[in-house]
Structure 1
Amino acid sequence: MFTKIDNTIKYGKQHGGFGIQILYPGLIRPQLADSGFSTIGRIDHARINPGTLIPMHPHKDDEILTYLRSGNVKHLDSEGHTDIISNHRLMMMNAGLRFSHEEKVLEEGGTLEGLQIFIRPETAGLPPKVQFSQLLDAYSVNRWRKIAGKGNDYPLQIRSNTWLMDLRLERGQEIVLPDAPSENSAFLFYVFDGKINVSETITLTAGESVLIEMEDPSFRAVETSDVVLFITQTNAAHFDGGMYSGNLHR
């Protein structure tokens, strides 16, 4: 079974040079009364002008991946880390019990476009930590690349049964899903940019996604496309009371 999630389900926010489109993937199944889908709490697709400052603010019980495709950000946090985040350098903030951070979009690098991804941890009150990952290349062309997940073969660690991968699929190329990392896996295939046909039955454009369970569809790029793949174990233990990753209906 696969279900298309189009852009009409998203919530938009705009404040000056700061704009985001928020996806709560669970809202496609209102009967479950969960705004998230298993461990996937919320996905923010952001476009932010250079010079914009997002002042110090808290998080609690969120696993947060900053995944940029353009722009450079200066990061500062309550754990004492300072770093520059870009499309070659990703960051995972495992907020846990308490955590605060500040982000400033730098003039060099232009407009920021990327995802702020909020994953649910296994349990509340974990110790806070921050991780960084340096990518050899900004894009992984026509091949799935492991970004973050549970397990030593993922460069950034998530504290629940959740896995994230990405790729750039060139025009005319086809790909299938990677092997499921666990039983009861579900896949959320998110088109960051471009246009993708799914098994020649549905078409996804920028910002749209498809939720896949117990199916093995094929994907063909109508135009060169950047994709982020979310994998969750549907019966995974998770805490749904996180500050941003939590269930809106809780």
Structure 2
Amino acid sequence: MKTNTPSLLIRRSEERGHARHGWLDSYHTFSFADYYDPGHMGFRSLRVINQDTVSAGAGFPTHPHRDMEIFSYVLSGVLAHKDSMGNGRELKPGQIQLMSAGSGVSHSEFNPSKSDPLHFLQIWIKPESTGLQPNYTEWHPGKDTEDAAKVLVISPDGRENSATIRQDADVYRLRVKAGESVSHELREGRGLWIQLIKGTLASGGDKLLAGDAASSETAGNIAFTAVEDAEALLFDLA
């Protein structure tokens, strides 16, 4: 029996919105703030993917959110988080924090370094329902997952030591060595989004470079091969 290989819809890095605010250099995969693209308002429950570089000693002052699942994936530097739930944390590269804003929460995100920039992805996913109790959870790589080619980092049930999200969404971190491959089986009725952070991935006749993204809503097995060492986030969404 022939296995279905879904085709991918590519979103190139240079097609993203870009904003410079002195202390902040930000790329927007989807419409955000002053960047508006009616063709890219999100993908299923995935609403925001911002790639942010924050100057030393700068950051986002305390501000409110509600009814959104917000997570940050630190790429380099240190991210200092504080919120109205009493959490005060410093996240390092490879670590993830997930804040369920629910009925309302205030938070700040800051670069505590006096010399080094902070580089991270900020991602918003719509929750399964509104008015939930605010919540905070984290994911840290362990010795067995630090360099795993594919590891579950966020899920609705917290399985495999993942951070817990209030949505039918599984998020995987990929770290694929040059010449190696990973695959993902997309079930019927679900959608896949992959955001490449660094390196180069090939899938079928498509090649993704750093900052590129690809999506599919066709069930089947999707394989990715690293042309050079690559890192990405892969979203499997209801």
Aligned to 1:198: 203
Aligned to 1:227: 232
Would the alpha carbon gap of residues 223 and 102 (structure 1) be closer, same or farther in structure 2, given more than 3 Å must change?
Answer: same
- 1:209 paired with 2:213, answer yes
Aligned identity (percent) is 23
Where does the alignment leave 5 or more consecutive residues of structure 1 unmatched? 234-250
Counterpart mapping for 1:21-60 below 5 A: 21-24=27-30, 30=39, 35-60=41-66
Deviation at 1:140, TM superposition (A): 4.2
Deviation at 1:217, TM superposition (A): 3.1
CA distance in 2, matches of 1:54, 1:83: 15
Normalised by the length of structure 2, the TM-score is 0.86
CA distance in 2, matches of 1:192, 1:122: 27
For 1:163, what is the secondary structure of its paired residue?
strand
1:27-51 Cα shifts (integer Å, max 9, x gaps): 9984xxx712111111111111221
Aligned to 1:128: 134
Would the alpha carbon gap of residues 204 and 109 (structure 1) be closer, same or farther in structure 2, given more than 3 Å must change?
Answer: farther
Would the alpha carbon gap of residues 54 and 143 (structure 1) be closer, same or farther in structure 2, given more than 3 Å must change?
Answer: same
- State whether residues 72 and 108 of structure 1, in contact with CA within 8 Å, keep that contact through their aligned partners in structure 2: no
Would the alpha carbon gap of residues 142 and 29 (structure 1) be closer, same or farther in structure 2, given more than 3 Å must change?
Answer: farther
CA distance in 1, matches of 2:221, 2:64: 39
- State whether residues 44 and 115 of structure 1, in contact with CA within 8 Å, keep that contact through their aligned partners in structure 2: yes
Deviation at 1:121, TM superposition (A): 0.4
For 2:42, what is the secondary structure of its paired residue?
coil
- State whether residues 150 and 182 of structure 2, in contact with CA within 8 Å, keep that contact through their aligned partners in structure 1: no
Would the alpha carbon gap of residues 2 and 87 (structure 1) be closer, same or farther in structure 2, given more than 3 Å must change?
Answer: same
CA distance in 1, matches of 2:21, 2:100: 26
CA distance in 2, matches of 1:137, 1:67: 18
Aligned to 1:240: none
- State whether residues 2 and 211 of structure 1, in contact with CA within 8 Å, keep that contact through their aligned partners in structure 2: yes
One-letter code aligned to 2:232: V
- State whether residues 46 and 125 of structure 2, in contact with CA within 8 Å, keep that contact through their aligned partners in structure 1: yes
- State whether residues 70 and 110 of structure 1, in contact with CA within 8 Å, keep that contact through their aligned partners in structure 2: no
- 1:156 paired with 2:160, answer no
CA distance in 2, matches of 1:174, 1:216: 13
- State whether residues 142 and 173 of structure 1, in contact with CA within 8 Å, keep that contact through their aligned partners in structure 2: no
- 1:91 paired with 2:97, answer yes
One-letter code aligned to 1:174: S
- State whether residues 81 and 108 of structure 2, in contact with CA within 8 Å, keep that contact through their aligned partners in structure 1: yes
